[in-house]
Structure 1
């Protein structure tokens, strides 16, 4: 195979190579548009941009066609088809005329400007002859800018005509909705389009700017700093350099006051001071980090009048003679900042180096702050108010959610339904209260006491429950050391105090003696012996009374005659007070048995000035005697008539 010039190298192995002149390797487009219709065409360029000669006419054929005139072979010639119709929305799609314009707006309520110039852009859409007016947004103008007139056909006059692009030109006024716009210029596309349509454009005008806006854009006056160390040089030199001091505010003189730590920052860049509070975990304070915000702090004020409104106006240089500087802060000294005194006890390493290089100060010995130990506040338990059980009420002083006191369950189970009963009389100066009888019940299961007063008909006193079931503390016991009444405290003749009322125990149940004898190791010997002495003499008296019941009838008449004789004898002793005699004997007989010891009886008669040395009185005493050392004082009191005790005779008859 031979090689021919112009045909390239033979396509043989080793002879093929890439042509660097070829840069395009895509296939040519075979689809075209004519008069708005798509049609297919033969490609004229092959892959790589090489021209194809197969689908094209030769130069001789083209010359023949150009010189040959059309001739009709036969028949009438055909008319050429009309040109394709292109609608306006297709022909003028996205073709917009833009005009630069402005309008003048009056500003009636302003002293700085009388009118305002607002620049706008007028757009004319060729596809539907609509227009719109848009004002470019100006930063910080304070006006509602943007689209002033929406897109629509602008009315030209009152006859229903609308603006057309033929009505628009440079250097003219156009009025839309009562507002006159001055068109000063247009864009290049608009100029080319109008000139292509045979419209002669006016020369462009300069855009008018708003005078007030231009005034605001004027550069501000610049003040040159002095030649020496000025604020700018100070800022550039000491920027981000801060002195740090550790201070303490002593507020212990006030109520609930304490020593509170603070950090004082002094900014060298602008001589401002900031005070920050140091918070600790669970310190109970609001987490406000800054006590005094960063500001210049005045040190010395100018003498000003009392009428100066200092609480309204801010502090300026005219009211301050001297401001705080770095020289006013030192370790070991106190500084007053806005009325609060801070003691500086230490500083950081940068502050030490600054003072050492700037002022030559080398003494930075930190001061040790001795914290006062808080005083221990003793827990004062309030006095018992009388409501509920003391242990139960005491739990309210120890916890917000009080728990009931623990109970001895074993003791409650062992002593369930075991009750000790005693008879008491009220110790009172009122004679009516001495006749009242009470029954005290002591519950061994929980050491509680209840008092019941039997109802006495026609006594004028309502009986029933006198004290509910509760624990009764002993007199003199406190809330810290509380002691309650126990069975060992109840002896015959003993006095107990129940919430301010004093009672005397006069009798007890037989079950009390049996229970104490069966548990003698748990009770004092004096308590047990008191009950034994109380029940044994009563049995002796009862036996003596049974033996003398036969002779009682014979001696009753003799006793009545002797009492009448004694009454006649005692009329001579007018100083005797029968009422006091009756009250004294009943008060001495605490158990209400009607029998007294002879020695006590005689001592009581001597204290009451009863004439026992009279023969008739001695005979009456002998007749009222029971045995050798007992006397029935009730028979003896019949010689002293008194209306205060009408129930004594009824008791004697029983």
Structure 2
């Protein structure tokens, strides 16, 4: 039953039922069902068989009344049976030179029992012979209990056979030649081979040697030749020797009108333009064949004929070398020399010589005033400044501890911090005063470039200044007539020099070990047997340093020894302040500021220790000590936390802190106030 809206009276609409013949709901009585009897699901057919179609392949024979080649023709069709409503559709696939006729529907309906391989069906006066069906249709009919025979071979169509024979034997009216250049363009677009060459025109009057650049475009096999003009050569700066085009190998003359056209027209009738008839020359009888230069014709040492001018190729760029190496397997790309240009005198480049420096101002400032009349400040190396400027925690400043070399004993004990700035190779010196030394902490030498000693001052050449190769531990610097020796460096400077060992060879562990290995080569076995014990192959730092200093002599510096010790995890730093020394300094500071608040500090520790474990993290302990107004410096506070007892997780035992700050337990003598900040530089 199908329901639809219809009119039961004039102007009265209602929902009515319409019975269709051969509905799938009643087909179970005609052929075996794919479900057992009594278990047929109660669902409508348009839901059960939605979008399920049976496809059959058929043909019918159409009689040809007025055709001399064949009395009939075979027309193939596809028969579609829609399971959801039992309708049928016949479709004729599109073929060359076919005509499609619509098939109107009538009141007669077919079902799946009438459609099978080998059956003949008649639709609107035409008889169709079913030859095959698709896989889904065959499986569906087999599940319904319908046997489907094997496919039937479609008979040969004499009409199309004769038509194909005529097409093969008949000459084409239009040429079928088509040159596909789009694929070559898409594959090789922006790919250019670059050669360098010359054209020697010195034998003619006013001729000269032309330096050329030959460009071969792989996208369309065209060539562009440009002339490379030297400065002050008397020629245009951009001279085109040959505009981009295909280059013929043999020049026979200028091409005539229409010579580049792809098609050729033949005049077969008439002499007048209006009455003449033209056809296309499909055989290209009158077309001339031309050979053009291709990529395989261009080689180093080869010659290219550019309309009578002999261009010799002498070299090519790296991309061209890689292209020929990959595609043609060539390996020899040795450039060939060019002939000497006899017409052009090569000018000798002379450097500008400045007058000697008069000693006023800096050398750069005086040189800038000699270059231009208008006073301008000298420009520094901006790229170097951007590269080595301060970036976050990376300051690009190398700091060393220096000691003064002087005949005065008091000067020899002075401590200096010598900073080397990588951004502009400047040096600054800062003095750290000791207690009761008579010297104060202040700037000793402002930041500026320092010239190497022993140079002539009043010369035209710029003086050489201290650079990275002169800065290392153990080096001697002469700054403002004072002699300094670098005795140590901070951890940032040592680490930076090791990471950039190509600029600092004395921090390159590979070069250092190679130098030591070469010096130990004659006595290597004796050195190992004498200095390294068999039980524990470890040598103390000081012992190894003494041995290497005696072995290498003056060729071995303290910087190289520090690099070796850092590379092999040796402890080359002797701590100046131990736990007792730091406690003595701390108790002295607490006594000076009259601090005695251990009870309150203990209450803070217990408040933050919720689990009563007796230990707190370092960060919380630091906050508590700062909150209790502990009158010590931040550097000293961190050193106190360094020497406090810890567990395996790094947590601090606050009972040890209370004992450490209690002057009644193990009292210590007061110490002389010292600057704990510079203890790192006081080994």
Between 1 and 2, higher relative CO (CA 8 Å, sep ≥ 6) is seen in 2
Larger Rg: 1
> TM-score under structure 2 normalisation?
0.24
> TM-score under structure 1 normalisation?
0.24
